[in-house]
Structure 1
Amino acid sequence: MENNKEEKIKFSKENFADDLRLWEQSAITLVDIRHKLISSEEAIKNYLIPTSMFLYTNGGKAEIILNDISYTVERFGVFHAGKGTELSIYPKCNWLEYYIILYKAGEPPFYKREFIRLLEKTNLFNQQYGYSPANPIFFGGQFRKMYEAWINPCPLGLFYGKTEFYQLVYQIYNELLNEKADNFKPDVVSMVQRYMDKHFSEAISIGLLSDSFGISISQLNRLFKKRFSCSPQAYLKEIRLNAVQSYLQNSNVTFREIANSTGFYDEFYMSKEFKKRFGQTPSDFRQNTTWTMGNLSMENILSIPYNEKSLVSVSKHNMEGEFSMFKQIKSKAVIGVALSLIFLLTACTNVPANTSNQDKEGLITKQEQVIDTEEGTRIVSTSMGEVEVPVNPKRVVVDYVIGDVIALGVLPVGVRSAFGGSAFGDVIHDATLIEKWDPEEVMELEPDLIISVVKDEFEASSKIAPTVFIPFTEMSMEERVTFLGEVLNRQTEAESAIREYYKKVEESKVVLEKQGILDKTISIFFGDPIDVAVAGDKWGRGGDIIYNDLGFRAPDVIQSEIIGGDQHRNLSLEVLPQYVGDYIVFDWDPKLFEQTTIWNSIPAYADGRTIALDFAFFYYNDLYSQSRQLDFIVDNLLSITGED
């Protein structure tokens, strides 16, 4: 255990000049601004912050944890933390509002030597602190204004957000410098509680624990009893006994193995304490439980825990409290089979990252020759808490981010039903298509890892196998692929896949510019030629690739009102011409153009500068799909100019 000190939250006036100098010289980039209203049942757990961060909590009691240091917020809180910090937010009220600003601080074009010297002296971008603001009205309004500007992006709005960021930093330093704010003290009681929750299977000395957190035993006992109505020793014993009960219910391991796995000195002491707590010996409890399990009805559920000593499975889910993953088995006839099959890991075929349509087949064949024999488990931090996953997952079931997983060289054994004609459709022909994402159907595949983008299905999936939730709409493609690289233990492949994709983008831009295409405008339409709608850069159909990756511009009205506004708009045929660029991209059957003659008067259509998209091929915006979609767009543009 590390001694948790408070140096990180202390400010000294003599460092303020250096801090402000760093803020002045740094090249600040706003990465993301997030806002959410969460209930007490929607805690944010162990989120790994990708950049430096400001956090503001508004109007309710909450527990904020930064790298295992807990702070209690009564009403309002301002926090800062550096890249790589683990953040958890536990609301202690009905509803808690919070804002997060993610930013990066880069080197300035000038004064680099002074910048590095100051950074070595006081790296304020990694500082971790929290305090109760003296002027919460200002901070609530400031974070709200920045968020509203961020979600409606336009050049002026982004510039506004950056100017307001410096105003935010000024107000924070003004309050700290003038001692207007109250620094939050670490919540030692919560930190001790969470340490015991996580390490109950180890030998824990309450005396050493109190020393590690800088508090006397008597004070810890007093504060702990005030919070939980029991002593730390009693709390620890209750955790251990509940774990013993779970092992007895859900496994056939010996009493000695259970004692070793739950922190008891031996099985005799464990039995004595168990009988005192539950009124019967572990043997009697197991017999009664076994009888009950033997009389399960078809509708009942058998819990098979994934435990940290690998007594039942190689994988375990550590999210909160006593929650453990279990399999839903509705027939007594398959219980024995399930218990044996849970140990079987079947090798899966691999496919490399970012393959084009032409060389995909050869590279897949080459990758199939690679066999990874590494076993064991590892912990990954997710937005839903810590999850223990296989070091080398072999039977992966995937929902939606299928192409991202394929891009990292992993072929899933099962996927949520994919559109026919998708970019990766011919790669997953051996995978099982799960139409309704039924738990029984998923369980039949014996997955050792499930990757899902549906938060509501997380709990059910976690009962089948270790499950990682991907907050798809909250992550960029680069963030998502990097995270999946960590989950699948393919960090190198993730870096390579991202690098190769953007290399392909740059090479494509060179070719397009050489052919005099890159400075042209492109419009993206969907619907049909009569009931037509226009799409922006975040409305699918290749918009992100065309406008953001390749850098094409849209006609001015689309650029300002659609890309910089609502992302899509239904159009009347009367105003259609002003939305049409030099090239037209559409997603309907070209034969439908015969329904109206207005398109014949539009130069781009009359001259054949059109690209028809297949909806299924462009439905997914994962890395593998986008790589092939990029090829399709570039090839069609060159074909129109006669340069294919």
Structure 2
Amino acid sequence: MKKLLVFTLLLFVLILGACNNESSAKKTNDEIEESTTVTYQSEEGPIEVPADPQRVVVVSGFAGNVAALGVNLVGVDSWSKQNPLYDSFLKDVEEVSEENLEKIIELNPDLIIGFSTVQNLDKLKEIAPTVTFTYGKVDYLTQHLEIGKLLNKEQEAQDWINDFKERTEAAGEEIKAAIGEDATVSVIENFNKQLYVYGNNWGRGTEVLYQAMGLKMPKKVEEMALEPGYYALSLEVLPEFAGDYVIFSKSADTDNSFQETETYKNIPAVKNNRVFEAKMEEFYNNDPIALDNQLEFFKEHFLNEK
């Protein structure tokens, strides 16, 4: 009888242990399931996003940031598709628009990213977790770090930022030594038959020139373009905004006949061969891919590095 009682108790202990193991295993699986999403603190509040996004759609603005962090893109905006710098990253990526929701649905994204001004935001949120950013709300490096946080790639983003700061600081010192501490640089662009000059945070290499390398802009540019980011001007007043050096963000598809006028030709930077023409499509953005290219462009042209 005692043997039977001992056997029964032993059997009970074994069954109880098995149940506990099964419960532990279930809990572990649940935790793994929960870990497939993380909470990102977006401008609109906390949002659950994939911990390891595999099918990202960028409807505006941040394709270069995502690509630079090695995250798979399945759809991007038309501006990104037109940038030759992104060709190797976006070869098999579809062009999308926030207006064509059917196309985005077909791509089955697990995360959608865009500017806060994106259209059909509520409908995009029904397709997949959607995170938007207000352009210029944070500086360009903080913006990349935020994209890194969103994609669970914060450390990778921070590593690039640290390296970029070191490289641009060194390049800035070299360039200032070559052209003079007080030399001024302007960034202009001809878009839709309108000339623009840019401040220090509107792409076109302005972040690299003014923020990272500490080069100076002409007083007139500082007065009119620094706060709003850009300023539209006429050809007649362009000489007032032209620095000792001019970066011309130029598109071959635009009428640039203003360069044949006497007004333009008599600008000192033009007469001294200090106008550096860059491809507008490559200079438009301020993500790591674009910024690295802009830095090399400036080193090549200011320091005559080939």
TM-score with structure 1 setting the length: 0.38
**Paired letter, 1:616:** E
* Corresponding position of 2:269: 604
Checking the alignment, whether the CA contact within 8 Å between 2:57 and 2:76 is kept in structure 1 is yes
Counterparts of 1:591 and 1:461 in 2: how far apart (Å)?
39
| Alignment: residue pair count | 269
Residues 477 and 623, structure 1, Cα contact 8 Å, conserved in 2: no
**Residue 629 of structure 1, CA deviation:** 1.8
Pairwise CA distance, 1:586: 1.7
Give the match for residue 145 of structure 2: 482
Residue among 447, 450, 453 paired with 2:112: 450
Aligned position for 1:404: 65
**Residue 616 of structure 1: how far off its partner (Å):** 1.3
Q: Secondary structure at the match of 1:541?
A: coil
Q: Check whether the contact 2:55–2:111 (CA below 8 A) recurs between aligned residues.
A: yes
Shift of 1:412: 1.0
**Could you report, residue by residue, the CA deviation over 1:589-625 in whole angstroms, capped at 9, with x for unpaired residues?**
5963553123332332122111112221122222332
Change (3 A) 1:513 1:594: closer
Aligned twin of 1:507: 170
**Within-5 A mapping of 1:275-424:** 376-399=36-59, 400-417=61-78, 418-424=80-86
Shift, 1:456, TM fit = 4.1
What's the secondary structure of 2:112's corresponding residue? Answer: strand
Residues 521 and 432 (structure 1), Cα distance of their counterparts in 2 relative to 1, 3 Å cut: same
* Counterpart Cα distance in 2 of 1:594 and 1:447: 45
Relative to total residues, which structure has the larger helix share, 1 or 2? 2
Indicate how the Cα distance of structure 1 residues 568 and 447 shifts in structure 2: closer, same or farther if over 3 A, else same.
Answer: same
Q: Deviations over 1:449-468 (max 9, x none)?
A: 22222454332112112222
Q: 2:94 matched to which residue of 1?
A: 432
- Looking at structure 2, the residues matched to 436 and 461 of structure 1 have their Cα atoms a distance apart, in angstroms, of 8
**Distance in 2 of aligned mates of 1:595 and 1:428:** 37
Residue 522 of structure 1 and its aligned partner are, at CA, apart by: 1.0
**What's the CA shift for 1:419?**
4.6
In structure 2, what is the equivalent of residue 145 of structure 1? none
Query: Given the superposition, is the C-alpha separation of residues 579 and 430 from structure 1 closer, same or farther in structure 2, using an over 3 Å criterion?
Result: same
Asked if the contact 1:388–1:466 (Cα under 8 Å) also holds between the matched residues in 2, the reply is: yes
Q: Secondary structure at the match of 2:87?
A: coil
Distance apart, 1:440 and its partner CA: 1.8
Instruction: Return the letter of the residue paired with 2:64.
Output: G
Aligned equivalents of 2:227 and 2:133: distance in 1?
Answer: 27
Q: Compute the displacement of 1:552 (Å).
A: 1.2
Q: In structure 2, what is the equivalent of residue 234 of structure 1? A: none
**Separation in structure 2 between the aligned mates of residue 596 and residue 612 of structure 1, nearest angstrom:** 17
Query: Which 5+ residue runs of structure 2 have no aligned equivalent?
Result: 1-29
Measured in 2, the distance between the counterparts of 1:602 and 1:577 equals: 6
Structure 2 residue 252 is the aligned partner of structure 1 residue 587: no
Q: Which amino acid aligns with 2:129?
A: P
For the residues of structure 2 that align with 1:449 and 1:381, how far apart are their CA atoms? 15
Cα distance change of structure 1 residues 577 and 489 upon mapping to structure 2, 3 Å threshold: closer
Rounded to whole Å, the distance in 2 between the matches of 1:582 and 1:423 is 28
CA pair 532-468 structure 1, distance change in 2 beyond 3 A: closer
Summarize the Cα distance change of 1:509–1:393 in structure 2 as closer, same or farther, 3 Å threshold: same
The Cα of 1:437 is off from its aligned counterpart by 4.5
Bigger Rg over Cα = 1
CA shift for structure 1 position 380: 2.0
Measured on the aligned residues, the alpha-carbon RMSD in Å equals 2.8
Change (3 A) 1:594 1:515: closer
Using CA pairs below 8 Å that are at least 6 residues apart, which structure has the higher relative contact order?
A: 2
Q: 1:599 to 1:382 in 2, by over 3 A?
A: closer
Which residue in the other structure is 1:638 paired with? 303
Instruction: Give the counterpart of 2:291 among 603, 618, 626.
Output: 626
What is the percent sequence identity of the aligned residues? 28
| Separation of aligned partners in 1, 2:233 and 2:257 | 18
Task: In structure 1, list runs of 5 or more residues that go unmatched.
Answer: 1-308, 316-374
- The two structures have a TM-score, normalised by structure 2, of 0.76
**Aligned equivalents of 1:594, 1:467: Cα separation in 2:** 44
What letter is aligned with 2:40?
V
Structure 1 residues 452 and 555: alpha-carbon distance in aligned structure 2, compared to 1, 3 A threshold: closer
- Separation in 2, partners of 1:459, 1:630: 38
